Amino acid sequence: MQGTLGYQGSTSNGGQDQEERELRLGTWIGNQRSRAATLSPERVEQLAAIGMRWA
């Protein structure tokens, strides 16, 4: 099934898919935090607008 963000996957292992997405999101957030000093001011502003916590 095709989702709105282009994700294509099976719903038979929905729990595993959800866990993987959460893990990948956590990794992405950690990467953004570790790169905070090198992010553009626009990027920092965008992330702050969606509620990014930097600590």
Q: Is 28 within the bounds of a domain?
A: yes
Q: How confident is the model at residue 4, as a pLDDT?
A: 42
Q: Is 6 within the bounds of a domain?
A: no
Q: How confident is the model at residue 27, as a pLDDT?
A: 95
* Rounded distance between C-alpha atoms, residue 13 and residue 44, angstroms: 35
Host domain of residue 30: 14-49
Average pLDDT across each block of 10 residues of the chain; the chain has 55 residues. List them in order.
46 79 94 96 96 91
Q: How confident is the model at residue 14, as a pLDDT?
A: 72
Backbone dihedral angles phi then psi of residue 10, each to the nearest 5 degrees: -90, 145
Q: Is 2 within the bounds of a domain?
A: no
Residue 22 and residue 2 in contact, taking contact as beta carbons nearer than 8 Å: no
Q: Is 3 within the bounds of a domain?
A: no
Number of domains in the chain: 1
Q: Is 42 within the bounds of a domain?
A: yes
Q: How confident is the model at residue 15, as a pLDDT?
A: 82
Residues ≥6 apart with Cβ < 8 Å to 47: 32, 39
Q: Is 4 within the bounds of a domain?
A: no
Q: Is 5 within the bounds of a domain?
A: no
Residue ranges of alpha helices (H) inside the chain are 14-34, 41-49
